[in-house]
Structure 1
Amino acid sequence: MGEPRMVMVKEAQSPPFVVAKDTAKEDLGGGITRQILGYGPEIMVVRVWFEKDAVGDVHSHRHSQSTYVESGKFEVFIDGTKQVLEAGDSFYIAPHLDHGAVCLEAGVLIDTFSPLREDFLGIEG
């Protein structure tokens, strides 16, 4: 089967079918890896792997975000409140709220953004 092919993303829409094994992963450093899955102008799904103790720094953005904890355990910070979440849990972040996460047990988050994250694609928003 070979290695997943690397695809430069410069469009505001993914192909209709996104096969994970054929889709590039981006090492963000600090024990975090990201894979952009299906997206269009109004929505984007991203899988993010975290090693234990990896930190998603506190930040904010203009996008609505809903995240599903696929596996692992995370301490999630949203707008001054912290909550420990594990597999099966989820959280919602309204636009412009400060948020971040610390990975307590290695795991995966499935992030959904609206509209899509232009910065993840390297295109102007």
Structure 2
Amino acid sequence: MIDISKIKEKEIMEGFKGRFIHTEYSTLAFWEIKKGSILPLHSHIHEQTTQVLEGKLELTVGEETNVYEKGFVAVIPPNIPHSGIALTNCRVLDTFSPVREDYKKFGRE
């Protein structure tokens, strides 16, 4: 059993504080995102899902922009450019497959 609150929080970029769990095949990232924080346009080899737990998050995936709130999930295919902005303070759960090796330095394995 993993108690997320016991995982040390790390600020990965301005306004994005995360706690990370790595399994054999995936990474879970629990984010606290400050209102107005910008996720720059980027892409990666990982399939990603983004679930908003609290707040409003505007995401652009490829050419499509949507506002996500509690109960909504974005599915981001591998290698698709995406970006975003926190319209309010947000709590978000990202899942990545395969494992985000670059995030292993930030959290629990």
Match of 1:106 among 82, 85, 89: 89
For residue 20 of structure 1, report the CA deviation from its aligned partner: 1.6
Who is 2:74 aligned against?
A: 91
Where do 5+ consecutive residues of structure 1 fail to align?
A: 1-16
Q: TM-score, normalised by structure 1?
A: 0.79
Q: Identity of counterpart residues, as a percentage?
A: 26
CA–CA distance in 2 between the matches of 1:105 and 1:115? 29
Runs of 4+ in 1 over 2 A off after TM superposition: none
CA RMSD of aligned residues (A): 1.1
Where do 5+ consecutive residues of structure 2 fail to align?
A: none
CA distance 1:62–1:29, change in 2 (3 Å): closer
Who is 2:42 aligned against?
A: 59
Match of 1:35 among 19, 23, 37: 19
Structure number with the bigger relative contact order (C-alpha 8 A, sep ≥ 6) is 2
CA–CA distance in 1 between the matches of 2:78 and 2:89? 27
Match of 1:120 among 91, 99, 103: 103
CA–CA distance in 1 between the matches of 2:28 and 2:3? 13
* Aligned residue pair count: 105
CA–CA distance in 2 between the matches of 1:28 and 1:62? 19
